[in-house]
Amino acid sequence: MKIMFYFLRPFDELPFCEEFSKEFGIEYDHVFAYPTAENVILAKGCDAVSTTPCDMGAEMLERFAELGVKYLCCRSIGYDHIDLKKAKELGMKVSNASYPPQGVANYAVMLIMMCLRKIMPIMKRAEIQDFSLEGKMGHDISRCTIGVIGTGRIGTTVIRSLSGFGCRILAHDIFENEEAKQYAEYVSMDRLLAESDVITLHTNITQKNSHILNEEAFAKCKNGVIIVNTARGGLIDTGALIHALSSGKAGGAALDVLENENGLYYYNRQGDIIANDEMAILRSFPNVILSPHTAFYTDDAIRFMVRSAFESAYAFSQGAETPHEIKLP
């Protein structure tokens, strides 16, 4: 059995491939580029293909299927970049990765604190030796109400961490988590929007919750609400967020993910003209932090992500169950 790894990073992922190749008895090959029409042929003779988020639409899947690829093993929790209907049609199995929730959760808490204490303007002004206080006064998190949308492993870890600050925590999810209930109060979405000083997103994206924060949602929020997103860019209507920031309805935002980020994040685009007007507008706001999808990026997470690809491919080949398998529509 053999896996073809696309966009395999030599500086962090490759050593783990060596380790898990031996553990599972699976051969692998790799390329440092994303799948393209030109390099898809490299997967010939491989049973599985592993990628990070990239274009895995119907045409690409058909090309892989023609080469004999049966398994698509994502090295990411998210799998919305894969055409799942086409994968099912082609008889391909799909898996995602898992990793400890603390990395993303701690990053989200960091972003909340950075926004509340206006750390970006403080540091930028310090760089030009402006050490004055005017315009730098922040908010004490202990006196804030934090709204957490999504209480899975990451969201619940965020709630547990925030509880140590003594802040009031509201939660919303279609499935209530017993651990989260120890620290947070489950409320309706409308109440969470109306009462939260900070809203942080920790849910997968579906057709039902795409643009869960839109014009209508922002209208229900407190004036000056801070928005933090370390989940999926499509959870926020970016145009609506820009309007909320421009009007003052939103007092700031920290976004580790962004709509239409494919082709931007994880690439070196120095010197390029980036045709993303919404990103340019967001970058112009002094109260917005754009972080290039790095909340997950810890040594523990990378090890788990690479292992997930080998583990899933091995389970698929043995006809065994794996918790990483995605149920296709």
Which is the catalytic residue, given 75, 293, 307, 324? Answer: 293
Beta-bridge partners for 229: 201, 255
The Cα 9–Cα 140 span in angstroms is: 40
Angle at 59 between CA 57 and CA 61, to 5 degrees: 70
**Catalytic annotation present for 168:** no
E-strand ranges in 34-182 read 48-51, 71-74, 93-95, 145-149, 168-172
Nearest by Cα to 145 from 166, 169, 164, 161: 169
**Catalytic annotation present for 191:** no
The Cα 314–Cα 25 span in angstroms is: 9
The contacts of residue 79 (CB under 8 Å, 6+ apart) are: 94, 96, 326
- Number of residues that this document lists for the chain: 329
Which is the catalytic residue, given 153, 172, 259, 261? Answer: 261
Burial class (CB in 10 A: 0-12, 13-18, 19+), 228: buried
Burial class (CB in 10 A: 0-12, 13-18, 19+), 276: middle
Place of tokens 């620290």: 183
The Cα 75–Cα 72 span in angstroms is: 10
**Catalytic annotation present for 293:** yes
Which is the catalytic residue, given 30, 75, 160, 232? Answer: 232
Q: Which two tokens stand for residue 121?
A: 């303007």
The Cα 232–Cα 65 span in angstroms is: 28
The contacts of residue 318 (CB under 8 Å, 6+ apart) are: none
**Active site (catalytic) residues:** 232, 261, 293
